[in-house]
Structure 1
């Protein structure tokens, strides 16, 4: 069982444009679609599409369209009831896959609601193999929220598969991502087993924390060895592994034992919305099958490439992916 946790879920509306976005002009959409979203929700949707057991933990009122969408899609979920509506995010997609995202901040949750949401996660995490903490945090959440939740999961409040502690993955950005890497004040307990930044987020970590010579996202995408070096510094800080997605350039995986680059032949990109979330789902799918790290990376990139070729935030099933087309290259970590 893989449990996903999305503190700030959304209704994701994707508006497809017939040409490039023209600021200040009136343009007509050629199609509009919407799905229940948020990073953790997207991971659960991708896992369900491939027949894996998962449950999405999130806040939301009984009549909220996000929960209705999950019911419609057959995604199991456990929701903390709240009165405020969940946010709506809009993605404008252009031919060729260029995407502009407009994300709302989300509802404010009280301190009591935050604690109740953690308690719900701890309850559902019993028996899980992985817990995925993903996405932005609602207004008012502390920056170290993910580190705190990770520490509490490891304290025994949530028992993993076979009575052990579940493995923990974090996929976020900004202050919540930095907080997850910093961990809790009591030492290493708040650091995840897997971190999944994109190139921009990895560059932010490198610049903010001095993990490596600061590079831009474009530089990291163009130089996978530089990306691996930055990721390796994060691993040396106590994070178990880093899966860094590099857009159309593939992804790198760095663990304590090695570093690898995975690339996929070019695909006709339709929408990049949710591609990174699908990559994480692909990694977890392969890990659950006992695959070696490089093969987990292979499936991650195959999932991400398949997602980019689909409209809106559609997630691929494993049979829609082409892992045999992925090339794996061993890299230096330093």
Structure 2
């Protein structure tokens, strides 16, 4: 028997009162300025920084930045996003590692648009939700209830039909089961149903546009860095059928997921498992970098 979530009444969806109680229970655990902005701002010496917004909770503390290389007419456009869920650290740091150490390899080949940390408040408190107890990665929809999602949608809107590849960098963590899924059930007044956290890296493709070869190229590259999650005894990963080694599919646009915000031909969502005894934080960041590079290389070979 599971212990009821400490906020709210089991079976009853949260009102504003419970959401406020949840917000007030959050504490700062790390610094967006020290861990993220300190790595973004120096990139202005080599790339174009675009401040595309700021979070209303503290605009001076939480500016939103995207990074562009020197765009050239006729080159394919690739979008890389990280930190949609602020607690998924390697998505943020992997995007920054790519920018610092590998982005120059694609100069004159790819126009890059990279948003390394979409949810900076959630990065600081190490949480999935934004201050209003909203999941940004179910909120990439018109009139979004998440200002983080709305800001990214506005940034991408002028180029959404030009993007050829979009890779969205995520993690699946033990805290998904210990905190975030129980909180979701409590917020929505539903019963919490435990699941198994997969041990290893996997991808979420688009069920409406699966692009099997693209997904395989990323899995093959990442498998050289870290292990790939096996299916459970039902052939699933987090409740979804494994369609090829390390890959499941979701209807990303219908679910309001970040991977569906453009009309790109090649799209995927990475999922790193940072709590594995077989992986270090450095390996998790390296897996994200390997995924970005493999995605870009496949796009260039198949544009």
Q: TM-score, normalised by structure 1?
A: 0.32
Q: TM-score, normalised by structure 2?
A: 0.35
User: Higher relative contact order by CA 8 Å / sep ≥ 6: 1 or 2?
Assistant: 2
